[in-house]
Amino acid sequence: MSSAVLVLDRVTKRFAGHTAVDGLSLSVPRGVIYGLLGPNGAGKTTTIRMIMDIIEPDEGSVRLFGEPGTGREHSARVGYLPEERGLYRKMRVLDLIVFLAEMKGVERRRAGAQAAAWLERLGLGAWRWRRVDELSKGMQQKVQFISTILHQPELVVLDEPFAGLDPVNTQVMKDAVLELRRDGVTILFSTHIMEQAEKLCDQLCIIARGRKLVDGAVADIKRTQTGHHLVIGFDGAPGAAAQLFADKRVVRKLDDYGQYAELELAPDADPQRLLAALVSSGARLARFELSEPSLHKIFIDLVGPEAATPEARPHPGGPRA
């Protein structure tokens, strides 16, 4: 896929005694919000660290922007917010943002001007000469976010961006992510909170124990994984409903009450075509409701309850997965 911003090809990373990431392949198209989902210890952070070139994969390759070169060589085009974030506590806010921007190759003077503008925009203008440890936690999170995107990256990688945020800051972070996408930035973020991912992601990849379980567009995943759940209410005339429902290629499970039916579609069946067929056969519908299974349910189905609770780490000294 030439438009892919990020392609992982059969990436494997082993640490003493266990395999953190096992033959993982995925592709992140340009301009989407991409979720990397998995229970704790699934290998999300290790995957992200390999994308960021912080650690090297033992096997497989990571390709950014469809171009050769390591993540470090592309670092000016990537923004990264690690999990369990912190800042230099004794540094002044503006100096800190400028320093981190310099690390991304932004020229010092330009970084200073942009940092000041961003601080102003997020209501921290008066705090720019204060030391980081004088800021509240919420303010520090804003500072972190500024330093992640100040160099105007094309790809932003966020490791558990919503972990530890209060509801207000969760909202702020969500708005910021959506705004980035509006500006054409590709966002990859990891999370173990399914509701968040379901609302935000265009595409996602679910991993557990270092292996990919499923990936793709959110709607496709929902359909291919469990098929659609459909509720139909008739307004007198059912038309050719009985024949249509009998087609096993379309309907997998049926619970027909005459004027009311609940059915589960086959994985490849298209509910829109069923609707068209019903209407053209003369059925009058009072209700046609697609109810999708939640991502949470898919996740539990796929991962299994035993993987949702991470196994004991074989090596406490090893890096977090």
Partner 1 sequence: MRKIWAVIRREFVERIRSKWFWFSALLGPVFFGAMIVVPVLFAGAGGTRRIAVVDATTGAFGERVAAGLRHGKIFRATRVPAGAGVVDSLTQLVGAKQLDGFLILTDAVVETGTAEYRASNVSSFRDVAELQDVLARLAMAARLERQGVDPALVGRAQLRISLETKKISGSTTTGESAAQSFALAYVMGVVLFLVITIYGVNVMGSVVEEKTTRIVEVLVSSLRPFQLMMGKVLGVGAVSLFQFVLWGLGAKLLLSQRRALLADLGGVEEARQVFQMPHLTAATLGVFLSYFLGGFFLYSAMYAAVGAMSSNEQEARQAQQPVMFLLLVAYVSMFGLTNNPESTYAVTLSLIPFTAPIAMPVRWAASTVPAGELGASLGLLAAGIVAVTWMAARIYRVGILMTGKRPNIKELVRWIRAG
What residue ranges bind partner 1 (CB under 8 A)? 16, 49, 52-55, 71-72, 75-76, 78, 80, 82-91, 95, 99-100, 102-105, 108, 147, 316-320
- Residues paired with residue 7 on neighbouring β-strands, in sequence order: 27, 63
Give the nearer residue to partner 1 in terms of CB position, either 131 or 174: 131
Give the nearer residue to partner 1 in terms of CB position, either 160 or 215: 160
**DSSP alpha helix (H) spans, the chain:** 44-51, 93-103, 108-121, 137-149, 167-182, 194-200, 218-226, 241-246, 271-280, 295-308
Angle at 222 between CA 218 and CA 226, to 5 degrees: 165
For residue 277, give the nearest of 253, 259, 250, 254 by alpha carbon: 250
CB of 202 to partner 1, least distance (A): 24
Give the nearer residue to partner 1 in terms of CB position, either 305 or 317: 317
State how far the Cα of 144 lies from the Cα of 79, in Å rounded to an integer.
11
For residue 78, give the nearest of 162, 154, 184, 159 by alpha carbon: 154
Give the nearer residue to partner 1 in terms of CB position, either 191 or 225: 191
SS3 119: helix
Strand order in the sheet with 285-291: 251-256, 260-265, 229-234, 285-291
CB of 47 to partner 1, least distance (A): 14
In degrees rounded to 5, what are phi and psi of residue 109? -65, -45
Give the nearer residue to partner 1 in terms of CB position, either 105 or 123: 105
CB of 308 to partner 1, least distance (A): 23
CB of 212 to partner 1, least distance (A): 23
Q: Which amino acid is at 93?
A: V
CB of 208 to partner 1, least distance (A): 22
Find the distance separating the first CA and the last CA of the chain, reported in whole Å: 28
CB of 96 to partner 1, least distance (A): 9
For residue 157, give the nearest of 59, 28, 42, 43 by alpha carbon: 28
CB of 10 to partner 1, least distance (A): 21
The C-alpha R_g of the chain, in whole angstroms, comes to 24
Give the nearer residue to partner 1 in terms of CB position, either 10 or 89: 89
CB of 211 to partner 1, least distance (A): 22
Give the nearer residue to partner 1 in terms of CB position, either 156 or 213: 156
Give the nearer residue to partner 1 in terms of CB position, either 91 or 254: 91
Do 156 and 186 meet the contact criterion of CB atoms below 8 Å apart?
A: yes
